[in-house]
Chains A and B, each alone.
Chain A
Amino acid sequence: MVRLFGPLVGLFFAVALLWSFGNGAYTAIKEPAAETAEHAFHLLPKDIKFASDGAFGKFDKAQLQRGFQVYKEVCSTCHSLKHVAFRDLAALGYSEAEVKAIAKQWGAKQPTFDVKSGERGERDNIASDHFPTVYYAGQGVPPDLSLITKARHDGGAYVASLLTGYQEQPAELLKKFPDAKTPDGLYYNPYFANLNLSMPAPIAGDGQVTYSDGTKATVDQMATDVSAFLIWTAEPKLDKRKQTGWAVLGFLLVATVLAYLAKKNIWADKH
């Protein structure tokens, strides 16, 4: 039975697939898929290196603090960081008092609701609070940035490339794709998947932020610093993970060598 029906079932699927293949090939020749502006002009992230890259990479705390400053002074106007708590900032090298001060002075406040009076209000942030939600009244919905570098391919380099990638729409693009003109209210950026996004260039020029550690605040420097900070917000346990990893691999290497020697010893009389 199986040997009778098996080949028949196989032929059935094969013929149905050939039918799809033939139709697909015919369509591909008759009406080849038109190239799109996104396909022709989208760029992969620049090759940007971070201190946390690679198996031995660790966060550069000074850079994370600079990046946090850029986030605070530039990004936090529109973008929230809801998975991160103020207390987590201690990992960037801030003291307990500094963390408390940062929380207290944070611009957006924590909403409160008095269950007795039914009144809504606000209070200052404390260290155990997560970064408060940012309500944005403009065009588009600014995404929460807590996980942004893990939610994009090559996340850190992607964020830095996007921040420094704003430019005039190339004349060549408009010549080739006249319909692909960037709509009003959107901004051209070849590192964004569909080339136009509603966020205007957030880092407009050198010196937008004044770093307290004296680092020169070029556009590239600020973009890289804030990306490094966002790598940390997405994966705060990165240093501990790699540290643990080396200890685990070291242990496993010794254990595996011992297991190999034991195996060799036990099998010695059988080969």
Chain B
Amino acid sequence: MSYTWAQEYKPGNGLTQWLDEKLPLPRFVFNAVGAGYPVPRNLNYMWNFGVLAGFCLVLQIVTGVILAMHYAANAGVAFDSVEHIMRDVNWGWMMRYAHANGASAFFVVVYLHIFRGFFYSSYKAPREMIWLLGVTIFLLMMATAFMGYVLPWGQMSFWGAKVITGLFGAIPLVGEPIQIWLLGGFAPDNAALNRFFSLHFLLPFVIAGVIILHIWALHIPGSSNPTGVEVKTESDTVPFHPYYTAKDGFGLGIFLLIYCAILFFAPNALGHPDNYIPANPLSTPAHIVPEWYFYPFYAILRAFTYDFFFIPAKLMGVLAMFGSILVWFFLPWLDTSPVRSGHYRPLFRKFFWFGLIPTMAVLFYCGGAPAAEPYVMISQLASIYYFAHFLIILPLVSSIEKPEPLPFSITEGVLGKDESAVLNAQPTAA
């Protein structure tokens, strides 16, 4: 499961030796994220975001567990209990702002992690399973974040819950019963709030479990790298510790600087003012919008405005919104180019930078805008490109593109051509 040259764990003293015989946890950590895990030497800063995402999960669990000690999941008092945390709980305002902005930070780093995967085709063999587990984590994150946003029981919490659970009502025949079953009533109320709180507490630990599988699957082929060329010799790798622990430490510092600047100086900038109005089932907000990290998918949902033959517009929107993420599951088989890295794929690169990235930006903007023209028509065109990019353009590009020449090895990519490295090249024991 690792390279032959991976360092072996050696217990330093009697205690660790005893521990290594009974429960080799230090050995496990050493091999997972310590000196025992050889990693390509050429990873750039886009490879920082996996560790940062893990940090965000821990941050969310710690702040969330503390908030749960003071929060009351009851439709009558939930809003007031959040204000109690903000005003009367020692450092409660910091815990809540850290948690609310922590969700945003989590999505920022996960989006960068995912788009790193898109550009460097990290999903390709032999790493398909890592990718599938990653998309699963993202779906779980979306569910967790959505339910967390309902908990303060403000106007956007309530109406967001109503809109999103209403999506299930679009399913033919069984839609309405499913919606009522999910909510525990005909509209979001105490039953819904209670189960959302319960699941919001549970799902992060499910995510933690899937992350363990994600990292386990990662350790079988080892990390990918910006050239997309597989590791050939020991000179292609460095031990994770201290090289990448140091690099990730610096990345974590930069991340925390930005995160804390928002947390302490603009903590409500990413939220919606309406969520400081208590939930009122009789008063619909002028514009119901989800949190910013769902904007692109919300734009796709709202892009379907006319029934398509016998399929109602709403159902089409729901299918497309879920489809827009489910399509990521199939990427390893849609993109058939043997070359991984976008650096060596001229045509793919153009579609990535001038197609996918602007499309995501446009969908993001339209998702936050009111459901009116011209935003709806713009998001329709952007959604067309979105689906075409993954389902039509990627397979086509893979078959017609002529990739640029790849370096012989990672070391060559970093240090230039080195004859001795070529001579010493041996197959890996991956």
Residue B265, interface by CB 8 Å: yes
Residue A111, interface by CB 8 Å: no
Cβ of B87 and Cβ of A88 under 8 Å apart?
A: yes
Nearest CB of chain B from residue A20's CB, rounded to whole Å: 5
Which chain A residues numbered 124 to 155 have a C-beta less than 8 Å away from chain B?
143, 146-147, 150-153, 155
> Do A23 and B306 form a contact, CB below 8 Å, given A10-B388, A17-B380, A151-B277?
yes
Cβ of A24 and Cβ of B373 under 8 Å apart?
A: yes
Cβ of A193 and Cβ of B94 under 8 Å apart?
A: no
- Interface flags, A146-175, vs B, CB<8A=1, else 0: 110011110100000000000000000000
Cβ of A248 and Cβ of B260 under 8 Å apart?
A: yes
In the complex, what residues of A have CB within 8 A of residue B261's CB?
Answer: 245, 249
CA of A241 to CA of B304, assembled, Å: 44
Q: Smallest CB-CB separation from B92: which chain A residue?
A: A237
Give the contact-size bracket for chain A.
Answer: 35 or more
In the complex, what residues of B have CB within 8 A of residue A151's CB?
Answer: 273-274, 276-277
Cβ of B257 and Cβ of A21 under 8 Å apart?
A: no
CA of A245 to CA of B93, assembled, Å: 13
Cβ of A6 and Cβ of B391 under 8 Å apart?
A: yes
CA of A25 to CA of B377, assembled, Å: 8
CA of A246 to CA of B381, assembled, Å: 45
- Interface flags, B384-426, vs A, CB<8A=1, else 0: 1001101110010000000000000000001000000000000
Nearest CB of chain A from residue B173's CB, rounded to whole Å: 21
Cβ of A252 and Cβ of B260 under 8 Å apart?
A: yes
Residue B334, interface by CB 8 Å: yes
Residue A97, interface by CB 8 Å: no
Cβ of B384 and Cβ of A18 under 8 Å apart?
A: yes
> Do A21 and B381 form a contact, CB below 8 Å, given A256-B257, A259-B253?
yes
Residues of A that sit less than 8 Å from B by CB: 2-3, 6-7, 9-11, 13-21, 23-25, 28, 33, 55, 83-84, 88, 143, 146-147, 150-153, 155, 193, 234, 236-237, 241-242, 244-246, 248-249, 252-253, 255-256, 259-260, 262-263, 266-267, 270-271
Top 8 closest A-B pairs, CB basis? A245-B264, A10-B391, A256-B253, A151-B276, A2-B333, A16-B308, A21-B380, A263-B246
Kindly list 5 other residue pairs between chains A and B, CB separation below 8 angstroms, not including A83-B80, A256-B250: A2-B330, A10-B387, A23-B305, A150-B268, A193-B286
